[in-house]
């Protein structure tokens, strides 16, 4: 079981409030991603759950038991650190076995579990090597091995893929997701990369300035962002925000339209006129950065190739059903 | 701190500074012995020195200990021996600093060049630093600087010059040479370490910008060395202010007062003349002088701690 | 870096560097040579550089003339003892400051550094009197204690800079893995800190071995380490250069070897981490 609940969790360092009251319910077996910009408190929140920091207020329940006074090792969680934090003087086997050794398991059982974990992660040939003799991806796998071997109630991941190169990152993303589904163990994963969040998560927690802005499935957040912050943070390229007269015509002080929901047509077709200032041709998609006069710079995404170049006049029209409306304080107006 | 952007740094510093309550209590406990001992080590002798410095107190006549206020300071500071020893101290510190740095820079630059067998040369250069002061002083005094049978005398005669009677004609200079020999390795090693940490790409960038070897040295290398040179000056000063063994075994402060520095003067007042009061006053003067230097050193090291 | 360096340049800089190295090392070499000469040859003008009658009798005489082994033993006990005690006190302190720092840690470190800057001569009088009254003059215990205190700030500082380099993540990983603080120390911290501990030990052994203020002032005979023993050769008593050289060679040889091993850490230790 790995049910985790946060109830009014607060954390401050002196006068600085890092976490301003977080409430959250994480169901057993789900993959939850904490995402947000630098300094939003996502890592602190993870460390609070891990027990590496003391809460200033509130409760953390794991399977219904409040653990705020329980030391990290007794919470039954395991963690994968951003720097991997492998023990440099121990072999891969030693690293993976350490937690079991500390728990006082018999040697034979430790070996059996370590070897099983190594097999799952394709680390068997490297068991006797030291971390410095491994590549970045292999070290990452050792860190994961160390986490899974203890059969924890939940995995905690602290930006584990940020030190890998782009290709490896995509591969490890898949591996981590697959492994989590296979083990059906709760996972909490911290990242600042919203693509990782969208692709890996069952549910996403968007944090900003120490507050939970929204908690929901990736598509939920994409289709029904609660406010301007979530709308702008989730989705790539970023949602276009328009205020002023054009917004008022749609019945809100601010409206948002995602680039993929802007129809691009030749100039003079109605909609918003503009001039292409940069065109990015990816083959599969075309990204247009259009100077739309008073509306500002708008981004449009066209599926497929669209042969436009800077200086071309275009006209942009939003799909009416895909327009997001926000009130003065930035909260979404749901129809 | 008000802007959201600075939050990350706050949170990280905060993270580093907290940990959990358990670890913190233990941390204090572990710190206590070291802090306590050093505190006693600093406060008790210093307090006693201050106390003694106000007494008329001679070990040969230990019956009479009377309070004399600041008389000892007046006596110590107006003693011609103090003026002479202060002068000697300044000349000694200044000359050794100048010699070690002026020789240390070219030496470090040389060792930074492609040299075959560099590690062996390094070992030879660093060796004097590990020689105990009494050994280096006696070896220099007897084997090298002896006016009749020393190696220097023989070399002088080879060139038809009159050998120098080092410890009679130029005693302070002789001490300076010995001490400089001991500290040259330190200066060289620190400067060399600093040179080796100079980013090769910086030099290449300067080269691409059209700087020649000399300009690269002046505009890139010298500024890079400014900090290590400061560190060398300050640390050497701390140790050079209290040079003692070299004087003790070679000249005993003489002839006359020619090689008496402040440390040696206080020693002789305390353990030769047994004048506790005056020696204590002198000790406090030495503490004040050292503190002036220490003030700057602590600031430099402290700044480094932030980085 | 990758560019070829002209042969000429290598030859010139190599020659110059070796010459400088030789000149700086020469007094030590000269001393070692003199230790194998007879007293007459050591004193002879013109000096003989290599072609003299090599003898080891000085080394035998050194022990006879005065009890060399006693002083060597004193040096070992005092330098070794003070270093080990300083390490035992400093390891927990440095550990605590490196891994559980508070707002005052920086000030505390700088304060410790400042105690090292107090000139020993400033407290010579009270220490001498306290030692006299406690009967600690000319005792190994007394010297061990004072050298331990004198080097404690350097030991704390060096260990602190080494511990600082151990990533905090790894210790947290150990805690997540269920290691108690004791086990964290044994299984994780100590193995990772061994190189730093070793260099700290070495450097402080050297500093304590060569300390020549307190040893000269607080010991005379029974507890006198080698620094004091060598100083006894400063009183002129006829032909003694070869014996002085032999005694000196014995006194510095072990520490020279240790010093060469620790030269890289030396910079960092003596500059309190200001230059690495």
Token readout for C127 is 């220490």
Query: End-to-end CA distance of chain C, in Å?
Result: 22
Average pLDDT over every residue of C183-205: 85
For residue range C116-139, list pLDDT tens digits in order: 778 888 888 888 888 888 988 888
Cβ–Cβ gap A16/B5 under 8 Å: no
Contact at CB, B1 and A54, closer than 8 angstroms: no
Do A81 and C173 make contact, defined as CB atoms within 8 angstroms? yes
Q: Is residue B14 part of a domain?
A: no
- Record: contact A98-C174, CB cut-off 8 A: yes
Which chain C residues have a beta carbon less than 8 Å from that of B117? 14, 18
Task: Indicate the domain borders of chain A.
Answer: 4-232, 238-326
Q: Lowest mean pLDDT: which of A131-135, B27-31, B105-109?
A: B27-31
- Angle of helix C68-99 relative to helix C105-117, nearest 10 degrees, comes to 160
Question: Per this entry, what is the length of chain A?
Answer: 335
Cross-chain Cβ contact B18/A47 below 8 Å: no
- Chain B: nearest CA to A13, how far in angstroms? 6
Give C182's contacts in chain A (Cβ within 8 Å): none
Subunits with 3+ Cβ pairs within 8 Å of A are B, C
- For the residues A327-331, what does the mean pLDDT come to? 89
How far B3 CA lies from chain C's nearest CA (Å)? 22
Q: Indicate the SS3 state at residue A242.
A: strand
Chain A, chain C: beta-carbon pairs less than 8 Å apart = 59
pLDDT average, residue stretch A197-213:
92
Task: Show the tokens assigned to C162.
Answer: 């080494």
User: Which overall architecture, per CATH, does domain A4-232 show?
Assistant: 3-Layer(aba) Sandwich (3.40)
Candidates B238, B225, B222, B223; CA nearest to B296 is: B238
- What is the rounded CA–CA span in Å between residue C157 and residue C274? 11
The pLDDT of residue B6 is 29
Nearest-Cα distance to chain B for C122, in Å, is 4
Residue B254: the pLDDT is 76
CB of A105 within 8 Å of a chain C CB? The answer is: no
Alpha-carbon gap: A327 to the closest alpha carbon of chain B (Å): 23
Q: Looking at the predicted structure, is the pLDDT value of residue B17 above 60? A: no
Could you tell me where the beta strands, DSSP code E, fall in A52-198? 57-62, 65-66, 77-80, 154-158, 186-191
Put simply, the chain B residues between 256 and 285 with a CB less than 8 A from any chain C CB are 262-263, 266-267, 270-271, 276, 279-280, 283-284
Q: Is A81 on the interface with C (CB under 8 A)?
A: yes
Q: What is the mean pLDDT of chain B?
A: 81
- Put simply, the answer to whether C273 touches B304 (Cβ < 8 Å) is yes
The whole-number pLDDT of residue B63 equals: 67
Whose CA is closest to C120, among B245, B300, A18?
B245
* 8 Å CB contact of A53 and B15: yes
Structural domain count of chain B: 1
- pLDDT of A156 higher than 90: yes
Measure the CA–CA gap between C146 and C79, rounded to whole angstroms: 11
Residue C2 — very low, low, confident or very high, per pLDDT cuts 50/70/90?
Answer: very low
- The answer on pLDDT for A27 being more than 90 is yes
Overall pTM > 0.95: no
Contacts of C167 in chain A (CB under 8 A): 83, 85
Segment among A302-316, B74-88, B240-254, C254-268 with least mean pLDDT: C254-268
- Please report, for chain C, the start and end positions of each structural domain, with discontinuous segments joined by +: 7-59, 66-270
Q: What's the rounded mean pLDDT across residues B233-253? A: 86
Q: B4 at the A interface (CB within 8 A)?
A: yes
For A79-127, how does the pLDDT look when each residue is reduced to its tens digit (9 = 90+)? 898 888 888 888 999 999 988 888 888 999 999 999 999 998 889 999 9
Q: Which residue in B1, B20, B21 is closest to A16 by CB distance?
A: B1
What are residue A162's phi and psi, to 5 degrees?
A: -70, -15
Check which CATH number belongs to the domain holding B281 and give it.
1.10.3720.10
CB–CB contact A146 C177 (8 Å):
yes
CATH superfamily placement of domain C66-270: MetI-like (1.10.3720.10)
* Mean pLDDT within C235-254: 80
Which residue is it, tokens 């991997």?
Answer: A84
Taking the alpha carbons of A90, A96, A99, A102 in that order, is the dihedral positive or negative?
A: negative
Q: At what angle are helices B80-111 and B118-126 packed, to 10 degrees?
A: 170
* pLDDT score of B9 more than 50: no
What is the rounded distance in angstroms from the CA atom of residue B168 to the CA atom of residue B166?
6
Structure-block tokens of residue A146: 């160390």
Q: CB of C41 within 8 A of CB of C53?
A: yes
Average pLDDT, integer, range A166-192? 91
Decide which of B21 and A45 is more confident: A45
In this prediction, residue C65 has a pLDDT band, given cuts at 50, 70 and 90, of confident
Which DSSP state fits C136? -
**Nearest-CA distance B19 → chain C (Å):** 7
pLDDT attached to residue A73: 81
Answer whether residue B148 shows pLDDT above 50.
yes
Q: Which of B130, B269, B300 to mutate to test the interface with C (most CBs of C within 10 A)?
A: B130
Q: With a cut of 60, say whether residue B306 has pLDDT above it.
A: no
User: B6 lies in a domain?
Assistant: no
Going by pLDDT thresholds of 50, 70 and 90, the confidence category of residue C198 is confident
Q: How close does chain B come to A264, measured CA to CA in Å?
A: 36
Residues 6+ apart with CB under 8 A from B168: B147, B255
Chosen for mutation from C17, C155, C169 (greatest number of chain B CBs closer than 10 Å) is: C17
In contact, B116 and C10? CB cutoff 8 Å: yes
Q: Which residues pair with A214 in a beta bridge?
A: A206
What number is the ipTM of this complex? 0.84
Whether the predicted pLDDT of C42 surpasses 90: no
- Partner-chain contact B11 A43, CB within 8 Å: yes
* Beta-carbon contacts of residue C137 (< 8 Å; ≥ 6 apart): C128, C131, C218, C219, C220
Which residues is A12 bridged to in the sheet? Answer: A17
Could you give the CA distance from residue C113 to residue C124 in angstroms, rounded to a whole number? 19
Share of chain A above pLDDT 70, in %: 100
pLDDT value at residue B208 = 74
Lowest mean pLDDT across A150-159, B43-52, B54-63: B54-63
Nearest Cα to Cα of residue A26 among A200, A150, A188, A224: A188
pLDDT band, residue B1 (cuts 50/70/90): very low
Given a cut of 50, whether residue C62 has pLDDT beyond it is yes
Residue numbers of A between 141 and 180 with CB closer than 8 Å to C:
146, 150
CB spacing of C176 vs A73 below 8 angstroms = yes
Surface of C (181-210) touching A: CB under 8 A: 183, 187-188, 191-192
What letters, b where the CB count within 10 A reaches 16 and e where it falls short, cover A265-284?
eeeeeebbbbebeebeeeee
Q: Judge whether B251 lies within some domain.
A: yes
| A98 in contact with C, Cβ within 8 Å | yes
Q: Does domain A238-326 have CATH number 2.60.40.10?
A: no
pLDDT of res. C272: 67
User: Is residue B243 domain-resident?
Assistant: yes
> What's the pLDDT at C273?
65
Helix (H) or strand (E) holding B62, with range, is: strand B61-67
B110 at C interface, C-beta within 8 A: yes
What CA–CA distance (Å, rounded) separates C148 from C70? 21
Give the nearest partner residue to B283 out of C122, C228, C244, using CB atoms. C122
Model confidence over B165-222: pLDDT tens digits?
A: 888 888 899 999 999 999 999 999 889 888 888 777 777 777 777 677 777 788 778 8
Q: Which domain holds residue B122?
A: 80-306
Assigned token pair, A172: 């490890």
Q: Are B136 and B182 in contact (CB under 8 A)?
A: yes
Establish if B62 touches chain C: CB-CB under 8 angstroms.
no
Under a CB-based contact definition with an 8 Å cutoff, are residues C87 and C201 in contact?
Answer: yes
Mean pLDDT of chain A: 90
Q: Is the omega angle on the peptide bond into residue A237 within 30 degrees of 0, that is, cis?
A: yes
How far is residue A311's CA from residue A308's CA, in Å, rounded to a whole number? 9
With an 8 Å Cβ cutoff, are C170 and A87 in contact?
Answer: yes
Q: Collect all residues of chain C within an 8 Å Cβ-Cβ radius of residue A102.
A: 177-179, 183
Q: Distance between CA atoms of C163 and C159, rounded to whole angstroms?
A: 6
Smallest Cα distance from C181 to chain A, Å: 12
Pair A77, A21: CB distance under 8 Å: no
Please, which pLDDT band fits residue C200 given cuts at 50, 70 and 90?
confident
- Asked if the structure places residue B30 within a domain, the reply is no
């Amino acid at each position: 079981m790995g049910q985790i609940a946060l109830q009014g969790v607060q954390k401050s360092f002196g006068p600085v409030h890092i976490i301003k009251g977080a409430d959250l319910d994480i169901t057993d077996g789900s993959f939850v991603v904490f995402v947000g910009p630098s300094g939003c408190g996502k890592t602190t929140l993870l460390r609070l759950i891990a027990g590496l920091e003391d809460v200033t207020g509130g409760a953390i329940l794991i399977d219904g038991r409040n653990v705020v006074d329980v030391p990290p090792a007794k919470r039954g969680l395991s963690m994968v650190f951003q720097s991997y934090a492998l023990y440099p003087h121990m072999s891969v086997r030693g690293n993976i076995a350490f937690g079991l050794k500390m728990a006082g398991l018999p040697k034979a059982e430790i070996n059996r579990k370590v070897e099983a974990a190594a097999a799952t992660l394709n680390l068997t040939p490297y068991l006797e090597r030291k971390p410095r003799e491994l590549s970045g991806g292999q070290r990452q796998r050792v860190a994961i091995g160390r986490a899974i071997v203890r059969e924890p109630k939940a995995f905690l991941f602290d930006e584990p893929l940020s030190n890998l190169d782009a290709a490896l990152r995509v591969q490890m993303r898949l591996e981590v997701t697959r492994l989590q589904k296979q083990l059906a163990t709760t996972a909490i994963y911290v990242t600042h990369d919203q693509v990782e969040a969208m692709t890996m998560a069952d549910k996403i927690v968007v944090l900003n300035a120490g507050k939970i802005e929204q908690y929901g499935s990736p598509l939920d957040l994409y289709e029904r962002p609660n406010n301007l912050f979530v709308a702008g943070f989730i989705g790539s390229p970023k949602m276009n925000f328009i205020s002023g007269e054009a917004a008022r015509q749609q019945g809100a002080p601010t409206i948002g339209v995602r680039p993929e929901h802007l129809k691009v047509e030749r100039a003079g077709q109605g909609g918003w006129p503009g001039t292409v200032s940069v065109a990015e041709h990816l083959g599969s998609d075309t990204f247009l950065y259009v100077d739309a006069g008073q509306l500002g710079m708008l981004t449009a995404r066209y599926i497929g190739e669209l042969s436009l170049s800077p200086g071309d006049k275009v006209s942009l029209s939003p799909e009416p059903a895909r327009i997001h409306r926000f009130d003065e304080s930035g909260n979404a107006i749901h129809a | 701190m008000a802007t959201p952007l600075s939050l990350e740094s706050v949170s990280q510093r905060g993270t580093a500074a907290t940990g959990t309550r358990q670890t913190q209590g233990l941390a204090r406990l572990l710190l206590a012995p070291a802090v306590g001992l050093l505190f006693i080590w600093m406060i008790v002798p210093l307090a006693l020195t201050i106390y003694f410095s106000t007494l008329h107190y001679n070990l040969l006549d230990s019956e009479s200990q009377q309070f004399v206020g600041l008389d000892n300071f007046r006596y110590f500071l107006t003693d011609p021996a103090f003026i002479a020893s202060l002068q000697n101290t300044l000349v000694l510190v200044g000359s050794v600093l100048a010699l070690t740095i002026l020789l240390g820079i070219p030496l470090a630059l040389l060792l930074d060049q492609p040299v075959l067998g560099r590690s062996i040369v390094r070992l030879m250069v660093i060796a004097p630093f590990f020689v105990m002061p009494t050994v280096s002083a006696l070896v220099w005094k007897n084997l090298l600087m002896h006016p009749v049978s020393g190696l220097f005398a023989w070399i002088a005669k080879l060139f038809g010059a009159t050998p120098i009677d080092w410890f009679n004609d130029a005693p302070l200079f002789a001490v300076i040479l010995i001490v400089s020999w001991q500290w040259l390795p330190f200066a060289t090693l620190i400067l060399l370490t600093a040179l080796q940490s100079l980013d090769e790409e910086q030099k290449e960038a300067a080269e691409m910008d059209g700087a020649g070897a000399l300009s690269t040295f002046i505009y890139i290398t010298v500024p890079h060395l400014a900090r290590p040179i400061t560190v060398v000056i300050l640390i050497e000063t701390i140790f050079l202010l209290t040079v003692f063994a070299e004087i003790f075994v070679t000249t005993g402060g003489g002839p006359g007062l020619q090689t008496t520095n402040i440390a040696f003067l206080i020693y002789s007042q305390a353990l030769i003349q047994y004048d506790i009061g005056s020696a204590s006053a002198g000790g406090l003067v030495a503490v004040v002088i050292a503190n002036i230097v220490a003030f700057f050193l602590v600031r430099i090291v402290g700044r480094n701690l932030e980085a | 870096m990758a560019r070829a360096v002209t042969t000429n340049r290598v030859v010139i800089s190599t020659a110059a560097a070796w010459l400088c190295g030789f000149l700086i090392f020469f007094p030590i070499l000269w001393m070692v040579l003199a230790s194998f000469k007879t007293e007459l040859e050591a004193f002879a003008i013109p000096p003989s550089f290599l072609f003299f009658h090599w003898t080891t009798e000085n080394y035998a005489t050194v022990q006879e003339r005065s009890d060399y082994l006693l002083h060597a033993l004193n040096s070992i006990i005092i330098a070794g003892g003070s270093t080990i005690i300083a390490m035992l006190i400093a390891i927990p302190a440095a550990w605590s400051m490196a891994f559980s720092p508070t707002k005052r840690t920086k000030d505390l470190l700088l304060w410790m550094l400042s105690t090292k800057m107090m000139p020993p001569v400033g407290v010579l009088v009270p220490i001498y009197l306290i030692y006299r009254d406690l009967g600690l003059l000319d005792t190994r215990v007394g010297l061990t204690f004072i050298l331990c205190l004198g080097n404690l700030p350097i030991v704390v500082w060096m260990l602190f800079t080494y511990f600082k380099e151990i990533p905090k993540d790894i210790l947290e990983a150990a805690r997540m893995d269920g290691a108690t603080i004791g086990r964290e120390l044994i299984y994780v911290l100590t193995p990772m800190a061994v190189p730093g501990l070793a260099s700290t030990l070495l450097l402080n052994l050297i500093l304590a071995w060569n300390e020549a203020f307190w040893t000269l002032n607080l010991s005379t005979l029974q507890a006198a380490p080698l620094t004091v023993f060598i100083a006894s050769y400063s009183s002129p008593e006829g032909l003694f250069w070869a014996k002085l050289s032999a005694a000196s060679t014995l006194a510095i040889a072990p520490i020279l070897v240790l010093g060469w091993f620790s030269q890289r850490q030396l910079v960092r230790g003596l500059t309190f981490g200001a230059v690495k």
